[in-house]
Amino acid sequence: MSWDQVCKFYYKSDVKKSGYFVSPNYPGFYPKNTECQYTFFGRNSEVVRIQFQEFEVDGITPRCEPKDRVDYVDFSNFDGGAQDKKMHKFCGQMTERMREPIQSDLEFFRVTFKSNSMYEGKGFNATYEFVINEETTFSIPPNSLVDTANTMHTSYIDNKCYCIVFYLVLTLTIQFLTGCTL
């Protein structure tokens, strides 16, 4: 499959923390046979959050595969063009699911727009924002929770040991006393 035009845009957190990106010629109709890549580079422990404001791409959700002869927007967490199977392609009109923010797994993320040789649409308008990856930030509390759990476990064992020792002492004392009486 060949594409007549490829356009590439790069968004780096070092340069700008947030902004917007649009399909080519937006808000006019996008051109046919076009591929546009929007690549995002966060800093360490940053992810990018993308939110579509408007979406009108030739196609009908969820049939957004090239074989369905539609235009679509594709997402990938992988550099080098590998397909990201857990990310679904977008096409057609804006749906409720498309209104939800899309977040990258790590620092790198790429949004690709592809149009075929027939039927155009208005395209899309989306905002992006680099944010600290909360999953990384929250990786410390679970460890301390484990520590707390271990501590609780230990003290539970300690208490149990004290009980056994106390019981043994008590039994021995009773036996001793009984022995004395006899």
For Ca ion, give the closer residue by CB, 47 or 73.
73
For Ca ion, give the closer residue by CB, 3 or 166.
3
| Apex 17 CA angle, 129 and 12, nearest 5 | 100
Task: Count CB neighbours of 40 within 10 A.
Answer: 23
Judged by the rule CB under 5 A, the positions of this chain that interact with Ca ion are 58, 71, 116, 119
Residue facing Ca ion at closest CB distance: 58
| Nearest approach, Cβ of residue 116 and Ca ion (Å) | 4
| Nearest approach, Cβ of residue 117 and Ca ion (Å) | 7
For Ca ion, give the closer residue by CB, 56 or 58.
58
| Nearest approach, Cβ of residue 54 and Ca ion (Å) | 17
| Nearest approach, Cβ of residue 60 and Ca ion (Å) | 12
For Ca ion, give the closer residue by CB, 19 or 66.
66
> What is the secondary structure of 38-98 as a DSSP string?
EEEE--TTEEEEEEEEEEEESSBTTB-SGGGT--EEEEES-TTS---TTSPPB-EE--HHH
In this structure, what token pair is assigned to residue 22?
Answer: 């649009």
